[in-house]
């Protein structure tokens, strides 16, 4: 079994505030194999962006990693000093953010930003770096790259800008790319282009991808495996076909039922009553228990750890093999 | 068939986005005009939900703003129950029409005044149209409205920031219902909400429509949501209405090449593994649109005529389409 | 859904009324109050300001002498050193007396009252004028906006003192000489107020332009609310945040501006000396040995301006959402 590119073990992210410590991510664990696309799906407040920020070391203070380990190809990166982390970031882990408008510095030409990143992480000369930048721009589908390399970000459209951001993320040949809502700010037709570009590029370079999004459709198209997050915990994680078509956690089932689809025939969307708990009021036991249609006594007392069911893992007492579940 | 509630005829809106006069004189630049909406016509019947779909730059929000009276049309007219708000001078008539229309906005954060308490926000239409004057009566009505949208009447004393996004949107819906309107314009009401919250809000809106006999103009970029909500759908591209058809019809047999492209681009949640045609190009700059049919640079069926002549809207039994390929019979089934 | 056997709680039909106690409790618990309670600078500055304010308001009761009444002053007391007994009235003058025998402690109390009066009222004038014009400018836009902003720009290119002097000169020419004395203080207030409105207008205009495009304003327009209502009831409560901070800092500036004008001789009349007038008197005697006539009024002015400034600084940081 090959070493996974990314291995997260019992990660805890906390925010000390004057009203007490808030736990944004509460003991989650997952692996990403080389070349694999893992989708991290959840609604707002589920902690998925926090997880991405924690992995790449860009948590906004006072947020901090309060427990657990993050291993990149077997080496720990969560406890590295700032300088060492800076070398990892960009070279071994790339990042694509949501808003292409603010991801690129509007004052610098696109070429300058690309060349700067390339030269920070490799030993190429400026001329070589420029040639590499032009190659990258061709790869991401920018027409006339030798001319466009000298353009400013505002001279590109939204979709083109996101392609440049992809090029920036991939320019140092990282082992892992974290994409945080890469298509949310784009039109539907452009979204489709960017998703397929991301997928193809990562297959070609054998880069693993951690795709964070709230859009299940994007996951269905792009991911190999998916982790569903709820209130800072992983509810279900498994192959994308299994999770989407044969969801085992009641939350995932509710989520899939509430998504309107083009081929739907029913009149009403499935509605999960209530809303995700705020970080200050996470229920005891399983975080989903107040809203769960199949809740029983144990759910309110003990938090379920992920239980293997087939090729997935589900954090739900319904799948426990104990006799106690009937209580 | 009774008179439609809303009639939009040849609606157009142009924005002048030229640089200031002095700059233009010094730099010898032309005036720049943004034709946001061009020659849009449709009708909405009572108790119907008409959806306007399009991507950014399509002009759908501009159409919504003109229907509601926030923007004046540059050309064309909007008739609500037979009254044209832009040309009516009689304040009483204007007020009567206004009380029948309400609007729900996209952002649950910006659509409620952060300094007002929720009960005051919901009561505003009642006070604005003078429907009730006794403060006890108004308070009772506000409580009733809060319960109708699934909130607790005791929540009336809270401020908007004390609610979640979905709850704020419910408050916005309660406000929209307060003046007992007949027609509600919904501008992307669930785009800023999580999927499970969206489901709650969409279900609520449908229930309210059945309960109160409401008519909706529903603006969205999300085709799946529109499929769920709308009886008839209009597709807009770069300011023009390219196709109008009943909901089921549009999804089963789309005719305009842009509609087909749009449907193809929607991510395949059911993972049927359907073959996808690659999507070409991006939306052009609305200030410098292409000549002829606005879609021609990206259209797989574009011919010489498409590049020079704007297609006219043709209405038949299946709906309305503005496409040369359709009228010329070049469209593959 | 799981069934429960409890009866559902009785829900009141109408929203409950919000009492003052509830409001105060909420305010005490807010971020702003917490920040105040944990900032020693804010507490000291507020304490000092409140102390000076109360002292000057109660001048009539705590001052040993009515500094504005010529009959209460004894010329023989003149030039008494601080802590010494005056020759004429045989009482201890803790801060000494000035050249006319006025007890400096009383003079400072009465003088602070004049300074604070002029300060508060001129700031109120600036705020009303500046916020009003800023709201109109930001909401209406177009030519009105351009006009108001050009006037503000032109005014901002002059020092405030010059504008006040200009207004003063004009007023002097217009008002008949018999009324100069009693009108002086009002002319002063308007002069200082007029010289400071532009910064409020600028800030409020920017915030108004942001708020104007927000959906809650559009919702009000859809309902047919008139523009004036929207400006006053919807937009205004949302743009006053920075105004409070500017006003607090401006208060200190207005007091100093008044002191400067009085120092130059065009402020309050000499019979109702403010802190600035006292400083003017004292300046002549600085090098002849009677340092206390300048020192104590100047110290009072500095303390007043400093504590108000510190309060304004803390308020600006506390209200800045990014620093929280």
* Banded pLDDT at B275 (limits 50, 70, 90): low
Q: Are A28 and A11 a contacting pair, CB within 8 Å?
A: yes
Q: Are B127 and B138 a contacting pair, CB within 8 Å?
A: yes
Residue C89 reports pLDDT greater than 80? no
Q: Are B189 and B204 a contacting pair, CB within 8 Å?
A: no
* Banded pLDDT at C314 (limits 50, 70, 90): confident
The interface predicted TM-score of the complex, written ipTM, equals: 0.88
CB contact under 8 A, C1 and A293: yes
Q: Are C129 and C195 a contacting pair, CB within 8 Å?
A: no
pLDDT in tens, C101-158: 788 888 888 888 888 888 899 999 999 999 999 999 999 988 899 999 999 998 888 8
C285 Cβ contact list (under 8 Å, min separation 6)? C99, C291, C293, C294
The mean per-residue pLDDT over the stretch B221-233 comes to 90
Beta bridge partners of B328: none
Question: C2 CB near a chain A CB, below 8 Å?
Answer: yes
Distance in angstroms (rounded) separating the CA atoms of residues B66 and C89: 82
User: How many Å lie between the alpha carbon of A312 and the closest alpha carbon of chain C?
Assistant: 26
Residue C32, CA atoms < 13 Å, CB-side half-sphere: 13
Q: Are B232 and B50 a contacting pair, CB within 8 Å?
A: yes
Q: Reduced to 3 states, what is the DSSP secondary structure of residue B45?
A: coil
Residue C4, CA atoms < 13 Å, CB-side half-sphere: 6
Question: A252 CB near a chain B CB, below 8 Å?
Answer: no
Q: How many CB atoms lie within 10 A of CB A301?
A: 12
Q: Are B14 and B33 a contacting pair, CB within 8 Å?
A: yes
B25 Cβ contact list (under 8 Å, min separation 6)? none
Beta bridge partners of B101: B183
pLDDT of amino acid B43? 93
Distance in angstroms (rounded) separating the CA atoms of residues B149 and B170: 6
Residue C9 reports pLDDT greater than 60? no
Select from A114, A232, A104 the least CA-distant residue to A172: A114
Q: Which pair of structure tokens corresponds to residue C167?
A: 């207004």
* Banded pLDDT at B287 (limits 50, 70, 90): confident
CB contact under 8 A, A160 and B268: no
**Which residues in chain C (24-53) have CB-CB distances under 8 A to chain A?**
34
Q: Which range (B206-215, B233-242, C95-104, C313-322) has the least confidence?
A: C313-322
Residue with tokens 């299994």: A242
Distance in angstroms (rounded) separating the CA atoms of residues B60 and B188: 10
In A, minimum Cα distance to B263 occurs at A262
Q: Are B207 and B175 a contacting pair, CB within 8 Å?
A: no
Residue C3 reports pLDDT greater than 50? no
Residue A265 backbone phi and psi in degrees, to 5: -115, -25
Select from B183, B125, B176 the least CA-distant residue to B148: B176
Residue with tokens 């997880």: A51
Question: C216 CB near a chain A CB, below 8 Å?
Answer: no
Cβ-based contacts of C1 with chain A (< 8 Å): 273, 293
The mean per-residue pLDDT over the stretch B271-279 comes to 63
User: How many Å lie between the alpha carbon of C34 and the closest alpha carbon of chain A?
Assistant: 9
Residue A3 reports pLDDT greater than 90? no
C292 Cβ contact list (under 8 Å, min separation 6)? C81, C82, C95, C96, C104, C282
Q: Which range (A28-37, A289-298, B293-302, C178-187) has the least confidence?
A: C178-187
pLDDT of amino acid A324? 47
Beta bridge partners of B44: B6
Chain pair A-B, CB pairs under 8 angstroms: 119
3-state secondary structure chain A: CCCCCEEEEEEEEEEEECCEEEEEEEEEEEEECCCCEEEEECCCCCCHHHHHHHHHCCCCCCCEEEEEEEEECCEECCCCCHHHHHHHHHHCEEEECCCHHHHCCCCCCHHHHHHHHHHHHCCCCHHHHHHHHHHHHHHCCCCCHHHHCCCCHHHCCHHHHHHHHHHHHHCCCCCEEEEECCCCCCCHHHHHHHHHHHHHHHHHHCCEEEEEECCHHHHHHHCCEEEEEECCEEEEEEEHHHHHHCCCCHHHHHHHHHCCCCCCCCCCCCCCCCCCCCHHHCCCCCCCHHHCCCCCHHHHHCCCCCEEECCEEECCHHHCCCHHHHC
Residue B277 reports pLDDT greater than 70? no
- DSSP assignment letter at C33: H
Cβ-based contacts of C34 with chain A (< 8 Å): 18
State the angle between helix axes of C275-284 and C104-140 in degrees (0 to 180), rounded to the nearest 10. 130
* Average pLDDT of chain A to the nearest whole number: 87
- Taking the model in full, what pTM does it have? 0.84
Q: Which pair of structure tokens corresponds to residue C66?
A: 């009515």
Cβ-based contacts of C32 with chain A (< 8 Å): none
Report strand pairing: A208-213 vs B314-316: unpaired
User: How many Å lie between the alpha carbon of B260 and the closest alpha carbon of chain C?
Assistant: 33
pLDDT in tens, A127-161: 999 999 999 999 888 888 888 899 999 888 888 88
Q: Reduced to 3 states, what is the DSSP secondary structure of residue B71?
A: coil
Q: Reduced to 3 states, what is the DSSP secondary structure of residue C211?
A: helix
The mean per-residue pLDDT over the stretch B75-97 comes to 88
Report strand pairing: A37-41 vs A225-230: parallel
* Banded pLDDT at C208 (limits 50, 70, 90): very high
The mean per-residue pLDDT over the stretch B314-331 comes to 86
* Banded pLDDT at B274 (limits 50, 70, 90): low
User: How many Å lie between the alpha carbon of B196 and the closest alpha carbon of chain A?
Assistant: 6
Q: Please provide the DSSP assignment of C57-118 as one string.
A: HTHHHH-SS-TT-GGG--GGGTTPPTTSBPTTT--B-TT-B-TT--BHHHHHHHHHHHHHHH
Question: C223 CB near a chain B CB, below 8 Å?
Answer: yes
pLDDT in tens, B139-170: 999 999 999 999 999 988 888 988 888 899 99
Partner residue opposite B119 with nearest CB, options C12, C15, C238: C15
* Burial status of residue B331 (CB atoms within 10 A of its CB: 0-12, 13-18, 19 or more): middle
CB contact under 8 A, A44 and B165: yes
Beta bridge partners of A236: A228, A314
pLDDT of amino acid C13? 57
Distance in angstroms (rounded) separating the CA atoms of residues B134 and B246: 45
Cβ-based contacts of A263 with chain B (< 8 Å): 270
Q: Give the percent of chain B with pLDDT over 90.
A: 47
User: How many Å lie between the alpha carbon of C220 and the closest alpha carbon of chain B?
Assistant: 8
Question: B103 CB near a chain C CB, below 8 Å?
Answer: yes
Distance in angstroms (rounded) separating the CA atoms of residues C268 and A244: 81
In A, minimum Cα distance to B166 occurs at A275
Query: Higher-confidence residue: A66 or C24?
Result: A66
Distance in angstroms (rounded) separating the CA atoms of residues C210 and A136: 40
Q: Are B236 and B52 a contacting pair, CB within 8 Å?
A: yes
Distance in angstroms (rounded) separating the CA atoms of residues C151 and C163: 13
CB contact under 8 A, A260 and B265: no
CB contact under 8 A, A260 and B279: no
Beta bridge partners of A15: A22
The mean per-residue pLDDT over the stretch B54-74 comes to 91
Residue B212 reports pLDDT greater than 50? yes
Q: How many CB atoms lie within 10 A of CB C69?
A: 11
Give the chains touching A; criterion: ≥3 Cβ pairs < 8 Å: B, C
Chain pair A-C, CB pairs under 8 angstroms: 4
Partner residue opposite C218 with nearest CB, options B70, B116, B140: B70
pLDDT of amino acid B271? 66
A227 Cβ contact list (under 8 Å, min separation 6)? A28, A30, A38, A39, A40, A41, A234, A236, A237
Chain A interface residues (partner C, CB cutoff 8 A): 18, 273, 293, 295
CA A228, A229, A234, A240: dihedral to nearest 10 degrees? 10
Residue B218 reports pLDDT greater than 50? yes
Distance in angstroms (rounded) separating the CA atoms of residues C322 and C324: 6
pLDDT of amino acid B273? 61
Long-range CB contacts (within 8 A, 24+) of B252-258? B253/B318, B255/B318, B255/B319, B255/B321, B255/B323, B255/B326, B255/B331, B256/B295, B256/B321, B256/B322, B256/B323, B256/B326, B257/B295, B257/B299, B257/B300, B257/B301, B257/B323, B257/B325, B257/B331, B258/B295, B258/B298, B258/B299
The distance between the two most distant Cα atoms of chain C, rounded to a whole number of Å, is 94
Partner residue opposite A272 with nearest CB, options B196, B268, B276: B196
pLDDT of amino acid A88? 84
Residue C194 reports pLDDT greater than 50? yes
pLDDT of amino acid B276? 63
C244 Cβ contact list (under 8 Å, min separation 6)? C315, C319
* Banded pLDDT at C234 (limits 50, 70, 90): very high
Distance in angstroms (rounded) separating the CA atoms of residues C137 and C197: 13
């Amino acid at each position: 079994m090959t070493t996974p590119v990314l291995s997260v073990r019992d990660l805890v992210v906390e925010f000390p505030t004057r009203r007490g410590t808030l736990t944004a991510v509460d003991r989650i664990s997952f692996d990403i194999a080389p070349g694999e696309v893992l989708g991290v799906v959840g609604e707002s407040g589920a902690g998925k962006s926090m997880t991405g920020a924690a992995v790449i070391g860009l948590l906004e203070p006072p947020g901090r990693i309060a427990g657990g380990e993050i291993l990149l190809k077997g080496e720990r990166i969560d406890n590295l000093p700032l300088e060492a982390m800076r070398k990892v970031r960009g070279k071994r882990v790339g990042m694509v953010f949501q808003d292409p408008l603010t991801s690129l510095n509007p004052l610098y030409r696109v070429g300058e930003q690309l060349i700067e990143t390339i030269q920070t992480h490799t030993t190429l000369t400026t001329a070589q770096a420029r040639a590499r930048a032009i190659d990258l721009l061709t790869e991401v589908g920018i027409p006339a790259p030798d001319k466009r390399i000298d353009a400013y970000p505002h001279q590109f459209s939204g979709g083109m800008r996101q392609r440049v951001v992809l090029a920036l993320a991939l320019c140092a040949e990282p082992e892992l790319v974290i994409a945080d809502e890469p298509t949310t700010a784009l039109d539907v037709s452009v979204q489709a282009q960017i998703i397929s570009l991301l997928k193809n590029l990562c297959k070609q370079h054998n880069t693993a991808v951690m795709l964070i999004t709230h859009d299940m459709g994007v996951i269905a198209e792009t991911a190999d495996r998916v982790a569903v997050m709820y209130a800072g915990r992983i509810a279900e994680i498994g192959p994308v076909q299994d999770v989407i078509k044969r969801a085992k956690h009641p939350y995932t089932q509710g989520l899939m039922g509430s998504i309107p689809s083009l081929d739907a025939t029913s009149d009403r969307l499935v509605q999960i009553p209530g809303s995700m708990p705020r970080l200050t009021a996470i229920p005891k036991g399983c975080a989903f228990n107040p809203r769960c249609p199949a809740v029983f006594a144990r759910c309110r007392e003990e938090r379920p750890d992920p239980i293997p069911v087939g090729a997935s893992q589900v954090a739900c007492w319904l799948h426990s093999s104990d006799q106690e579940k009937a209580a | 068939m009774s008179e439609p509630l809303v009639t939009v005829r040849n609606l157009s809106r142009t924005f002048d986005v030229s640089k200031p006069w002095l700059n233009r004189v010094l730099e010898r630049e032309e005036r720049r005009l943004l034709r946001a909406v061009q020659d849009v016509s449709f009708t909405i019947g009572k108790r119907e939900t008409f959806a306007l779909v399009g991507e950014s730059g399509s002009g759908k929000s501009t159409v919504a703003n003109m229907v509601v009276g926030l923007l004046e049309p540059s050309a064309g007219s909007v008739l609500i129950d037979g009254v044209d708000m832009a040309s009516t001078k009689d304040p009483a008539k204007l007020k009567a029409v206004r009380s029948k229309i309400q609007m729900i906005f996209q952002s649950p954060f910006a659509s409620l005044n952060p300094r007002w308490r929720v009960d005051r926000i919901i009561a505003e239409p009642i006070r604005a149209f003078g429907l009730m004057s006794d403060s006890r009566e108004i308070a009772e009505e506000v409580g009733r409205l809060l319960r109708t949208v699934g909130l607790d009447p005791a929540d009336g004393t809270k401020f908007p920031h004390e609610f979640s996004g979905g709850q704020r949107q419910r408050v916005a819906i309660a406000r929209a219902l307060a003046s007992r309107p007949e027609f509600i314009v919904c501008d992307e009401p669930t785009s800023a909400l999580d999927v499970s919250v969206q489901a709650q809000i969409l279900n609520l809106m449908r229930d309210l429509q059945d309960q109160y006999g409401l008519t909706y103009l529903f603006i969205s970029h999300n085709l799946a949501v529109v499929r769920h909500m709308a009886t008839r759908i209009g597709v807009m591209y770069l300011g023009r209405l390219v196709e109008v058809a009943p909901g089921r019809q549009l999804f089963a047999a789309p005719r305009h090449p842009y509609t087909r492209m749009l449907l193809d681009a929607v991510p395949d949640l059911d993972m049927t593994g359907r073959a996808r045609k690659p999507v070409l190009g991006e939306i052009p700059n609305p200030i410098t649109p292409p000549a002829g049919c606005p879609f021609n640079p990206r259209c797989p069926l574009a011919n010489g005529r498409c590049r020079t002549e704007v297609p006219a809207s043709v209405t038949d039994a299946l709906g309305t389409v503005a496409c040369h390929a359709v009228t010329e019979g070049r469209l593959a089934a | 859904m799981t069934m429960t056997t409890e009866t559902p709680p009785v829900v009141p039909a109408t929203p409950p009324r919000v009492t003052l106690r509830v409001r105060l409790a909420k305010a005490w618990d807010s971020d702003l109050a917490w920040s105040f309670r944990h900032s020693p600078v804010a507490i000291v500055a507020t304490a000092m300001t409140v102390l000076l304010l109360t002292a000057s308001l109660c001048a009539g009761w705590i001052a040993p002498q009515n500094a504005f009444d010529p009959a209460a002053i004894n010329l023989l007391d003149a030039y008494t050193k601080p802590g010494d007994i005056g020759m004429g009235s045989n009482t201890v003058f803790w801060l000494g007396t000035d050249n006319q025998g006025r007890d400096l402690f009383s003079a400072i109390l009465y003088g602070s009252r004049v300074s604070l009066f002029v300060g508060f009222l001129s700031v109120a004038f600036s705020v009303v004028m500046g916020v009003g014009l800023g709201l109109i400018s930001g909401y209406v836009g177009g030519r009105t906006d351009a006009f108001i902003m050009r006037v503000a720009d032109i005014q901002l290119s002059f020092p405030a003192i010059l504008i006040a002097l200009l207004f003063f000169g004009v007023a002097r020419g217009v008002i008949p000489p018999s009324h100069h004395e009693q009108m002086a203080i009002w002319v002063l207030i308007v002069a200082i107020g007029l010289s400071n409105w532009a910064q409020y207008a600028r800030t409020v205009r920017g915030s108004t332009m942001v708020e104007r495009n927000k959906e809650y304003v559009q919702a009000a327009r859809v309902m047919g609310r008139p523009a004036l209502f929207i400006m006053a009831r919807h937009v205004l409560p949302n743009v006053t945040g920075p105004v409070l901070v500017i006003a607090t800092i401006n208060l200190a500036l207005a007091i100093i501006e008044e002191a400067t004008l009085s120092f130059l001789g065009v402020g309050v009349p000499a019979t109702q000396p403010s802190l600035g007038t006292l400083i003017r008197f004292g300046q002549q005697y600085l090098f002849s040995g009677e340092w206390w006539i300048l020192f104590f009024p100047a110290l009072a002015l500095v303390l007043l301006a400093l504590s108000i400034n510190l309060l304004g600084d803390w308020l600006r940081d506390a209200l800045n959402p990014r620093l929280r």
